[in-house]
Structure 1
Amino acid sequence: MQHVDPLLLDTDEMKKFFECMRLRKYRADRKAVKQKLLQDVQRLEAELARLQLCSRKAKATKVPATALLDHNKSLRAHVDHQGRVARLLAAWVASHYLPERMPTRAGWIESTLVANPLTRRQGLQWLSDRVYHIAMQSVSRHPIGPSMADGVRAHVHLQDENSDDDDGLQIGGSEAHIQHTFFANVQDVANVIWSWDQCNCAYGSEVTEVVDNTLVYYRGNTFSGVSLRRVNRMYNEGHRVVFTQALVAEDECYAVADDELRIHGFVWNVIERVTDSVTRVRLSRYHAPPKTKHRLASVEEVAKLYMRPTDCDTLSRLVLAQRLRETVENMYNHVSNDFVRSMAKILDEQGQV
């Protein structure tokens, strides 16, 4: 457009010129406002689309989350119900359980550990192997059964040497069994149990001989005052670890004293891998009747370790034996449950480190 100098125009032409300029500016302003409004509309439409998309995503995830929560609650209620049923059935089955007799009293249980160093070391290994073989034969027939259910069971056996007279009643031995599943690796569980057993205050034992880091001989006293000599050994088979304890009846280096009661028998503990983070522990403990220097301990002698002296002096042998059985069985159950709780606590603390 050709440039016109307003000073050269007459009055009418000047008015037309300024009117034209005003209209031109007006149209330019309107066009700028329109463009700005179009840009605002495009920006707002994009924002609206984004918000609508987020809303649809939130709704899409909210519905399954609610459904999953409801399903989880339903499953938990079902598991709780099944658990109550299982506990009732377990109690019913336990009420019909008749304790089996103690394992056959094999001659090796009464073996004497000799003083000769070379023969003695072979004896420690031989006794441990005997317990290991019993464990392998017995683990499939564990008293708690083939299930994975946790449990503790204890029983004291009485035997009547003279059926016509209660005076013949004697302690036939005792047994305790534990089965428990720990949520930890098999090696971690084995290490904790091995370490715990070395410093178990219930035994009050001290190390007497160390053959290697898997075979150790201890001597000491239980919290009830009965002495014991125990050979601890570890058999690590990868998928499972087996601990054995041979409770030595006679030791030429530590003869039974005149006023001593000594426990003998054996213990085995099979620690099996279920998964990388789940381990089943099965433990069985068999104690033969405590023995003195010259004979097996009487009911009265054993009762004095666990009961009040007045009961030992006033109760008949039959009543005393039954009370002793109840006391020892309760003690075994208490100690076994303490063992399980201690192991679980230690493993939980290790898992949090």
Structure 2
Amino acid sequence: MSELALQDRCSSDMKEHLELATKELIEAVKSLEQDLVRRKKHADPHFVALVIAKSKIAAFEEQNKELKTMLADRELLKAWLADWVDTFTPRQGEPNYMELTLLQDDEGRRKGSIYMTNQIHIMSQKAYPYKPFGNSLEDKTGVKIHSGEDEHGVCIKAYENYVHFTVEGNYENVAKTWRFDYTESTTLYTVLMVEKMDEDILYSIQEHNELKLKRISVSGVFPGYPGQDRITITHAGIAVDERFPFGDGETRVNGFQWTIFEHITDRLTLVRWSLLVFPPVNAQGQLSLHETARSLRCPVNRFDSEEAIIERIRNIGELGLNKLRDQFRERCKRFVLEAPTMGSRDQLFEEDE
């Protein structure tokens, strides 16, 4: 038998087998359909309801899953949009309490001193425009403590102080007396070093005679703008000086302040003294609340609450400012018997020859 004849015979046999299998499948499907019809006629209605319910529940759960996914995506979008809008919303943040640092090199120190001094002067003139209170003469003293938290608990971030008072004497002479405290030793501070950084800007190192706190500062003198009878003295307390590292046990006070001396009459001067003082620092960083209290000779014990310690420090600060005010007034009493102006005791106040 030829090969072609064999192929035809195999193909014919396969066709017969497929037709037979198809008939058998059709008969099986008919039998299943008849059985299904019979089962439906005799099925338990509760069973049918249960099957239908399970089917619908499964479909509902699948739909619910899709809806939950859509809801989660929508919430994420809302949160993202809210954050995006928030970036364009102006707000008043917490104050930026800035410790001042002087660099090692001469040019960096000089430029830094000039910048700090001018910035403080600009702030002083914005805070106190010329005669903003109509020369109000009553004494005022205020101490506000800005608190926060550190690794030890509640801490003091800064002291915001102001003293408003009058002194008998010409405003130029009163300003010279105030400036004198930065260049010469007094009963309160011992001057260890004075260096001229720029025109009318001095660098000085002082030590508090009682508290033994070191004060490294840059101060400047600014006459009033044309038409203003006032003098402003600025003071920037340096926390870190790269040229003078901390000594053993050394603690420094730091912050910034300005004092404005304004003409009331030829023999009466209005003084506005504003300070933002930061907690003392040492080689390890800023002192804790209890360390700050001890450095200021403020009595504390382990049973005192942090709020009580802060209030005690605030009271001591207010008493100290009033004491300094009264001492300064006492020193200026000699002007009552002097002429409205006197010769300068400080080269930074002398007129050009």
Report if TM-score (shorter chain) is over 0.5.
yes
- Evaluate the alpha carbon distance shift between residue 116 and residue 184 of structure 1 in structure 2; reply closer, same or farther with a 3 A threshold: same
- Counterpart residue number, 1:241: 231
Mapping of 1:137-156 within 5 angstroms? 137-140=126-129, 148-156=136-144
How far does residue 326 in structure 1 lie from its aligned partner after superposition? 2.1
Aligned residue pairs, count: 244
Mapped partners of 1:227, 1:317: distance in 2: 26
- Counterpart residue number, 1:290: 280
Match of 2:95 among 83, 100, 104: 104
Residue 170 of structure 1 aligns with an amino acid whose one-letter code is C
Mapping of 1:135-214 within 5 angstroms? 135-140=124-129, 148-161=136-149, 168-199=153-184, 200-211=186-197, 214=200
Mapped partners of 1:141, 1:265: distance in 2: 24
- Evaluate the alpha carbon distance shift between residue 178 and residue 346 of structure 1 in structure 2; reply closer, same or farther with a 3 A threshold: farther
Asked if 1:260 corresponds to 2:260, the answer is no
Mapped partners of 2:321, 2:166: distance in 1: 19
8 Å contact 2:167–2:329 — kept in the other structure?
Answer: no
Answer 1 or 2: which has greater helix percent.
1
- Counterpart residue number, 1:272: 262
- Counterpart residue number, 1:113: 102
Asked if 1:328 corresponds to 2:353, the answer is no
Mapped partners of 1:287, 1:217: distance in 2: 18
SS of the equivalent of 1:291 reads strand
Q: Deviations over 1:45-93 (max 9, x none)?
A: xxxxxxxxxxxxxxxxxxxxxxxxxxxxxxxxxxxxxxxxxxxxxxxxx
Mapped partners of 1:283, 1:175: distance in 2: 11
- Evaluate the alpha carbon distance shift between residue 325 and residue 188 of structure 1 in structure 2; reply closer, same or farther with a 3 A threshold: closer
Mapped partners of 1:317, 1:125: distance in 2: 39
SS of the equivalent of 1:209 reads strand
Residue 223 of structure 2 aligns with an amino acid whose one-letter code is N
- Counterpart residue number, 1:226: 213
- Counterpart residue number, 2:7: none
Mapped partners of 1:260, 1:168: distance in 2: 24
Mapped partners of 2:157, 2:99: distance in 1: 15
- Counterpart residue number, 2:35: none
Q: Deviations over 1:13-50 (max 9, x none)?
A: xxxxxxxxxxxxxxxxxxxxxxxxxxxxxxxxxxxxxx
8 Å contact 1:152–1:333 — kept in the other structure?
Answer: no
- Counterpart residue number, 1:133: 122
Mapped partners of 2:240, 2:296: distance in 1: 24
- Evaluate the alpha carbon distance shift between residue 160 and residue 152 of structure 1 in structure 2; reply closer, same or farther with a 3 A threshold: same
TM, length-normalised to structure 1: 0.60
Residue 298 of structure 1 aligns with an amino acid whose one-letter code is S
8 Å contact 2:102–2:242 — kept in the other structure?
Answer: yes
RMSD: 3.2
Residue 228 of structure 1 aligns with an amino acid whose one-letter code is R
Mapped partners of 2:124, 2:198: distance in 1: 22
- Counterpart residue number, 1:12: none
Match of 1:338 among 312, 327, 349: 327
Asked if 1:317 corresponds to 2:337, the answer is no
SS of the equivalent of 2:246 reads coil
SS of the equivalent of 1:219 reads strand
Q: Deviations over 1:301-323 (max 9, x none)?
A: 111123366x3445343433332
Mapped partners of 2:298, 2:266: distance in 1: 48
How far does residue 266 in structure 1 lie from its aligned partner after superposition? 0.8
Match of 1:251 among 233, 241, 248: 241
Mapped partners of 1:196, 1:189: distance in 2: 12
SS of the equivalent of 2:178 reads helix
TM, length-normalised to structure 2: 0.60
SS of the equivalent of 2:282 reads coil
How far does residue 285 in structure 1 lie from its aligned partner after superposition? 1.7
Structure 2: runs of 5 or more not aligned: 1-93, 343-353
How far does residue 243 in structure 1 lie from its aligned partner after superposition? 0.6
- Evaluate the alpha carbon distance shift between residue 334 and residue 277 of structure 1 in structure 2; reply closer, same or farther with a 3 A threshold: closer
Residue 95 of structure 2 aligns with an amino acid whose one-letter code is T
Structure 1: runs of 5 or more not aligned: 1-102
- Counterpart residue number, 1:123: 112
Residue 230 of structure 2 aligns with an amino acid whose one-letter code is R
Identity of aligned residues (%): 21
Q: Which moved more, 1:125-134 or 1:334-343?
A: 334-343
Mapped partners of 2:205, 2:183: distance in 1: 11
